[in-house]
Structure formats: C-alpha cells, structure tokens
Amino acid sequence: MENEIQSLIIKLFVFFFGMAIGSFLNVCIYRLPESISLVHPGSRCPKCKTKIAFYDNIPVLSYIILRGKCRHCETTISLRYLVVEMVSGLFALAIFGQYGFSLETIFVYAFVAALLVVTFIDIDHQIIPDVITYPGIIIGFLSSFLLDHHTYIESIMGIILGGGFLFLVASGYYCLTKKEGMGGGDVKLLAMIGAFLGWKATIFTIFVGSIIGTVLGIVVALYTQKGRKTAVPFGPFLSMGAFLYIFHGQQIMNWYFRLVN
C-alpha cells in the first residue's frame, strides 16, 4: 500500500511538472515567431498588457478558475493554452512510464516538447523556427552517444535520410510546378527527427506523416471554401509520426512485417 501511494505521488509530480513545462511551451509558441525574448518581459495579457500574477499563472488550474478569461479586461484566453499544458503533462507521464528515472526520459521529453512547439507554430504561421531545429539536430546527434536506443551512425543516417529525402521532394515539386510546395523548415524538422530517433524512425515518420497529411488535406480541400488552395502545414503531421514512433513505432513495424510476410 505504501509503495502504491509513493508511486502515485511520483506520477502526480511528473504530471504537474510536465504541465509547468507546458506553460513555458505556450510562451515559446507565442513569442518565438514574433522574435520576442522568452524571459523578458514577464507574462502579460496580450490585450490589456497587464502583468499576470503568479497565482493566475498556475498551469490548468488558473485557466479553470478564471474561466478562460483575463482577470482584468476579461479578454478570452485561447483554449490552446490549456490544451498544451495538459498534453505536455500527459506526455511527461507517458515518457516517464516508459523510461522511468533515466537520462533517456530527459532527452525524449525535451524532444517531444520541441515537437509540440513546432506543431503549434507551424499551424499558426506556416513556419518552423531554425532556433528549434538547428540545436535539435545537434542535441539529437549528441544523444546517440549517451543513449542506447540507436548508434551515432544511425543518427547520421537519420539526418541525411530525413533532410535529404524532403529536400529532393521539395526540389522535384518546384521543378515540376515552379511553386513552393514544402518549406525548408520541414526538411530541417525531419532531419532533427532523424537525429533523435535514427533512420528507421525517419522512414516511419515520413510514411505515417504523409498518410495523416493526405487524409486531412483531402478533408480540408472538401470542406473549406478555398478548396485545394488552402495551405496545410506538414510539420504537425511529421510530429505526429514521431510521437507515434516513440511510443508504438517498433510494435507497429513488427506487426507490418509479419503482415507482409
């Protein structure tokens, strides 16, 4: 009984820690595209510019208490802030459940946090900041020397395969249509995914991301007035593929190979 209580306390701590990190991720999502410092000024209401007190900045709880509105001007706060904090907490709990107290937990969670920021920035602005992907590629490569899930050779292959594949696709599309179909940010994002997870994950991510992107792209084209001209960012789909690989990629690949054999 005592061990169960201790385990529950640890899991709650991990979950709340993840939500606290999610609060910082919201800052990154809002400020990075605007080239605003992440540390100065402090958190403020984007409408009335009033500084947010610490008791109004508690992850999830403050949003619920304030009913999703600024305390001072009652401007509606986007539900996304709550979603990002909750998702970040759940990811922290899931990663801890898979890797426990380990260096791998730190690296994998940092990688997932970066993908969350990339996802929402790409949705809003159709850009993927280099300030995330360039350091991510380096850190992902260095992690291959510290972790056991893949070697540095597999990391290098992942970088080359990931960045090279999308670069060829983007270049080919431009040659055929004379239009930009895929940004350089997607190329660097897939290179970062390859650096962290290796070349097998790169192939998995491309395949899964393409399927999800195609399906949702068709849905958008059918149900929006802009039809096929509607821009659909690819970064979130690559992130979804990477998320799936982290938790279930090997099982899915094993199932697929058994199916085709």
Diameter of the chain by CA atoms? Answer: 66
28-50 pLDDT, tens per residue?
Answer: 999 999 888 888 777 877 777 77
Using the predicted structure, report yes or no on whether residue 7 has a pLDDT greater than 90.
Answer: no
What would the pLDDT profile of 184-237 be if each residue is shown by its tens digit? 788 899 999 999 999 999 999 999 998 998 888 787 777 766 545 556 788 999
Instruction: State how far the Cα of 144 lies from the Cα of 128, in Å rounded to an integer.
Output: 24
pLDDT value at residue 34 = 87
The predicted pLDDT at position 148 comes to 82
234-256 tens-digit pLDDT: 899 999 999 999 998 888 887 87
| Mean pLDDT (whole number) for 119-142 | 94
> What pLDDT sits at residue 123?
92
Return phi, psi of residue 70, to 5°.
-65, 135
Closest CA to 77 of 122, 50, 47: 47
What's the burial of 177, exposed, middle or buried (CB within 10 Å: 0-12/13-18/19+)? exposed
Task: Report the sign of the C-alpha dihedral through residues 44, 50, 51, 57, in that order.
Answer: negative
Alpha carbons 36 and 29: distance in angstroms, whole number: 11
Q: How confident is the model at residue 170 (pLDDT cuts 50, 70, 90)?
A: low
Look at residue 173 in the predicted model and tell me its pLDDT: 60
b/e per residue 216-225 (b: at least 16 CB within 10 A) = ebeeeeeeee
Q: What is the mean pLDDT of residues 145-151?
A: 86
Terminal-to-terminal C-alpha distance of the chain: 47
